[in-house]
Amino acid sequence: MKKRPIGILIALAMALFSIWQVYQLSKSMVLSSLRETGEARLNLYAGTVQGALEKYSYLPFLLAKNHNIQHILQGNGDSKQVNRYLTVVNKQAGSAALFIMNSAGVTLCSSNWHEDLSFVGKNYGFRPYFKDAMEGVASGFFAIGVTTSRPGYFFSAPIYNFAGNTVIGVAVVKIDLTPLEKSWLEGGEMVLVGDKNGILFLSSLSQYKYKSLEPLASETIVTIKEEKQYHGITIQPLGFKKSQLFADDVISLSGATYLLSSRKLPEFQWRIYYLASLTEARKLIFGTVTIAAVTLFLILLLTLYLRERRLKRISNRRASHAKKLSKINKRLQLEIKEHSRTEKELRETQQEVIQAGKLAALGQMSAVISHELNQPIAAIRTYAASCRKFFEKDKKQMVLQNLDIISDLTEHMGSITSQLKSFARKSDGEFEPVNLQDRINRVQFMLENQIRPAGVMVNLELCETPITVLADPVKIDQVLINLIRNAIDSMANSTKKQLTIVLINKETNAELHISDSGHGIDPESMRQLFEPFFTTKGAGEGLGLGLSISFRIINEIGGTIRATENEYGGATFIVCLPQHLSNREPTK
C-alpha cells in the first residue's frame, strides 16, 4: 500500500518536468523566430536609413564647386542670385535646407533666406560639421536646429578658393528624417536609432525620442551643450530593465516586454534598434504549455482510471474464486471419505493463482513552429561626379544628360527593390528585345568608379554580331551588376586582379562568362550559392540576396546560371540565355 503514494508522486514529478521542458522548448523556438525576424527588419531599416541620407550626400560637394558661391565667399559675388539658386536646388532635391557659411561660421546665403526663420546672418561655427569641413574633411552630424528648433541631419563639405589650396567656407545640406519615423509608425513597427552616446534621436514612438539608453557621463553632457546638438532638450535615461529570467535580450519598457535586436551603422557611428513585442509570444508559449499540461493531466487521469479498473477486476476475480473454494471446502468436508480424489484435486486448484497485467503507453508531444541597392547608388555617384566635371567645363548639355540618367537610375532602384517579391511571384514587367553588348558596356561604365579604384583590369571579349535576348532590361542590368560586383569583391585581397567578360554566340543561345582571379568558391559554399540570404561576405557587407535574385531573373527568362572554379584560381559564372528569334543564327 505504501508504493501507491510514491508512484503517484513520481508520476507528478515527471509530468511537471515534462511541462517545464515544453515551456523551455517553446520559449526557445518563439524567441529564435523573433530574433530572425528582428535581424531581417534591421537589415531593411538600416538600408532605408542609409539610403535616405546618402541620396543627399552629393549636394554639399556640388555647391562647393559653384563659382558664384566661391565669389560670394571671396567678397565679390551676388548674394541674391546665390540665395535664389539655393532655393531652387533645395526644392528640386527635396532637402530641408541648403546654406553657405564663411570661414568664421557665419551664414552668408541660405535656401530659406526669404523666411522668418532664415539662417542668413546666423553663426553656426560651434557645430562639429563646420569645424571638420574647415579642416578639409567632409562631415555629417545630427542635431536640433538652433534657429528653427527642427531636427535634421547635416552634411557639410569644404569650399576651396579658385586656386584650390585654402578652405574659404563650408557648404551644408540639412535633411529632414521625420518621414522615416512616420513610415515606421504607420507600419506598426517599433524602431529606434541612437547616436554614438546612446541618445535616441529617431523613434517610431515619440515618447522614447531624445532619451538615452544609459545615464550620460558629465563630459558627454558638456560636449552636447557646447555643440548644442539637442538644443533646448534635457536628455533623460530611457529607464528600461533587462529580463535575465526570460532571456538576455528581453527588456521591460513602460510596463511592456520586448525582444531587443540591434546592429551598428558604422558610417554614421549610430546603432539601430528593433523592438518586437512579446505579448503574442507569451500567449503562444502559454497556450503551448497549457495544452501540454492538459494533455499530461488527461494521460495521468487515464492511467489512474485504467489502474483502478484493473485492480477492481482482480479483486472481483479473487472474491469469485473465494466463494467457489468455500463451497468446495464445505462439500469436501461432508464427503471427505467418499470423494478423496476430488478433495486432492481441489487442494491442487487452491494452489493455483491466476494473475493478469496491462501496460499503458505515454506519447510525447512536440511542437515546431516553424535586407541591394549599392550598385545603383554607386552609379548615381559616378554620374554625379561626372556632372560636377561637366559643370566645371560648362558642358550643360552633358550635365542634363547625366541628370536624366540619374533619374532613370532612381526608377531602376525602385525596380530592384521590387525584385525581392520575385521570390513569391513573377515580375509584372514587360519583356522586350535587349542587346547584351550594350547592356554589358553600360553596366561596365556604371561600375567604373568601383573597378578603377580597386585596381581591376577588365578584359572584354564580345562577339561582333549583336546578340539580343527577350527580357526586362532593368533585370538584365541587375544580373550583370550582381555578378561583376561579386567578382570585384572576391579579388579584394588578390595580387592579380583580372576581370574577364566573354560573350559567345551559340546559335539559339547566348553564353556569358564572367571570370575573376579572386579567392574562388569552396565546395560547401558552391552548393548554397543561389540560396536566399547566403553570403560569404562579412557582417554588414551584404544581404546574401544578389545571386538568389539573379538566379530567379535568369529562370524567368528561360536561361540557366552556374559557377565553376578556374584552373589557375578564381571563379567563373556562366549564364546561358535563349536568343531572341529575330537574332538567332540559322541552323546549319
Read off the pLDDT of residues 108-151 as tens digits, 9 standing for 90 and up.
999 999 999 999 999 999 999 999 999 999 999 999 999 888 99
Q: Are residues 202 and 97 in the same domain?
A: no
State how far the Cα of 332 lies from the Cα of 419, in Å rounded to an integer: 98
Q: Is the pLDDT of residue 12 over 60?
A: yes
Q: Which helix (H) or strand (E) holds 475?
A: helix 473-490
Q: Are residues 155 and 270 in the same domain?
A: no
Residue 323 falls inside a structural domain: no
Confirm if 228 and 126 have CB atoms less than 8 A apart.
Answer: yes
Strands (E), 319-444: 432-435
Domain count, the chain: 3
Quick one: what percent of the chain has pLDDT higher than 70?
84
Strands in 107-110's sheet, in edge-to-edge order, are 107-110, 97-102, 167-175, 151-160, 139-144
Sign of the Cα torsion 54, 55, 56, 59 reads positive
Q: Is the pLDDT of residue 353 over 50?
A: no
Nearest to 430 by CA among 470, 481, 482: 470
Residue 218 falls inside a structural domain: yes
Residue-range definition of the domain harbouring residue 168: 59-176
In three-state secondary structure terms, 504 is: strand
Q: Are residues 270 and 146 in the same domain?
A: no
What is residue 361's predicted lDDT score, i.e. its pLDDT? 25
Instruction: Examine the fold and report which residue of 121, 144, 176 is the final residue of a domain before the chain moves on.
Output: 176
Q: Are residues 112 and 66 in the same domain?
A: yes
Strands (E), 234-349: 236-237, 241-242, 250-253, 256-265, 270-277
| Residue with the three cell numbers 558552391 | 526
Residue 108 falls inside a structural domain: yes
Residue 367 falls inside a structural domain: no
State how far the Cα of 50 lies from the Cα of 193, in Å rounded to an integer: 12
Q: Are residues 63 and 93 in the same domain?
A: yes
Q: What is the pLDDT of residues 496-525, one digit of tens each?
A: 888 899 988 887 888 899 988 888 777 777
Lowest mean pLDDT among 11-15, 16-20, 343-347, 376-380: 343-347
447: its cell numbers: 561600375
The CATH number of the domain holding residue 99 is 3.30.450.20
State how far the Cα of 107 lies from the Cα of 119, in Å rounded to an integer: 6
Residue 297 falls inside a structural domain: no
Q: Are residues 488 and 571 in the same domain?
A: yes
Instruction: Examine the fold and report which residue of 176, 201, 218 is the final residue of a domain before the chain moves on.
Output: 176
What is residue 309's predicted lDDT score, i.e. its pLDDT? 86
Beta pairing partners, 365:
none
What count of other Cβ atoms lies within 10 Å of the Cβ of residue 325? Answer: 14
Residue 436 falls inside a structural domain: yes
Residue 142 falls inside a structural domain: yes
pLDDT mean over 547-576: 85
Instruction: Examine the fold and report which residue of 277, 312, 337 is the final residue of a domain before the chain moves on.
Output: 277
| Residue with the three cell numbers 546638438 | 229
Residue 492 falls inside a structural domain: yes
Long-range contacts of residues 86-95, Cβ cutoff 8 Å, at least 24 apart: 86/110, 86/111, 86/113, 87/111, 87/112, 87/113, 87/114, 89/59, 89/62, 89/63, 93/56, 93/59, 93/173, 95/56, 95/59, 95/173, 95/174, 95/175, 95/176
Confirm if 108 and 101 have CB atoms less than 8 A apart.
Answer: yes
Label residue 455 left, alpha or beta by phi (over 0 means left) and psi (-120 to 50 means alpha): left
| Residue with the three cell numbers 564663411 | 102
Q: What is the pLDDT of residues 22-52, one digit of tens each?
A: 777 877 787 788 888 888 888 988 888 988 8
Q: What is the pLDDT of residues 358-394, one digit of tens each?
A: 232 223 223 222 334 677 777 788 878 888 888 888 8
pLDDT mean over 241-258: 74
Q: Are residues 508 and 574 in the same domain?
A: yes
Helices 279-334, 340-350: crossing angle, 10 deg rounding: 160
State how far the Cα of 571 lies from the Cα of 560, in Å rounded to an integer: 17
| Residue with the three cell numbers 544580373 | 479
Lowest mean pLDDT among 24-38, 178-192, 429-443: 24-38
**What's the predicted TM-score (pTM) here?**
0.48
Q: Is the pLDDT of residue 244 over 80?
A: no
Q: Are residues 148 and 217 in the same domain?
A: no
The CATH number of the domain holding residue 441 is 3.30.565.10
Considering only CA atoms, give the Rg of the chain.
Answer: 38
